[in-house]
Amino acid sequence: MIYDNENIFAKILRSEIPCEKIFEDEYIFSFKDINPKTKIHILIIPKKPYIDILDFLENADADYQSNFWISINKLVLQLDLKNKGFQIKSNKGKEGGQEVFHFHLHLLSDS
Ligand code: 5GP
């Protein structure tokens, strides 16, 4: 599978489609899911083009992977979720429920 530059999240990253932005830095972009499953349902995407979690784990360099997680920690602190409960989930592949083929994490919380 080749990364499709016309996927919805690529368009959101290029500001071609609007979104409710929550957090952005050099490594990640984060915005509200259009169809929230919980009180807080935020999508976190790398700014670089990876298809899914395995593409990211296999092909992003170690620096980028660690900065990605450091940025997620900043997002969690900004949302004041450090001492509350939350889930992070990633669907991989059509069989795994993935609909948009730009790697993303779902950050979910009912707090
Ligand atoms: P997946 O099933 O690929 O793991 O998750 C894709 C998520 O993207 C779904 O939860 C869906 O509601 C969300 N989504 C799809 N299209 C849009 C959109 O145009 N804007 C936003 N903010 N979320 C979207």
**92-107 pLDDT, tens per residue?**
999 999 999 999 999 9
**C-alpha 3 – ligand 1 centre gap (Å):** 17
Residue 91: other Cβ atoms inside 10 A: 16
**10-53 pLDDT, tens per residue?**
999 999 999 999 999 999 999 999 999 999 999 999 999 999 99
- Tell how far CA 52 is from the center of its chain: 10
| Cα angle, residue 108 at apex, residues 30 and 95 outer, rounded to 5° | 90
Rounded-to-integer distance, Cα 108 and Cα 85, Å: 9
Atom of ligand 1 nearest to the CA of 97: 2
Catalytic residue numbers, as ranges = 104
Q: Is the pTM of this model over 0.95?
A: yes
Which are the contacts of 25, defined by CB distance < 8 A and separation ≥ 6? 71, 74
Any atom of ligand 1 within 6 Å of the Cβ of 99: yes
**62-74 pLDDT, tens per residue?**
999 999 999 999 9
Residue 100: other Cβ atoms inside 10 A: 17
% of the chain at pLDDT higher than 70? 100
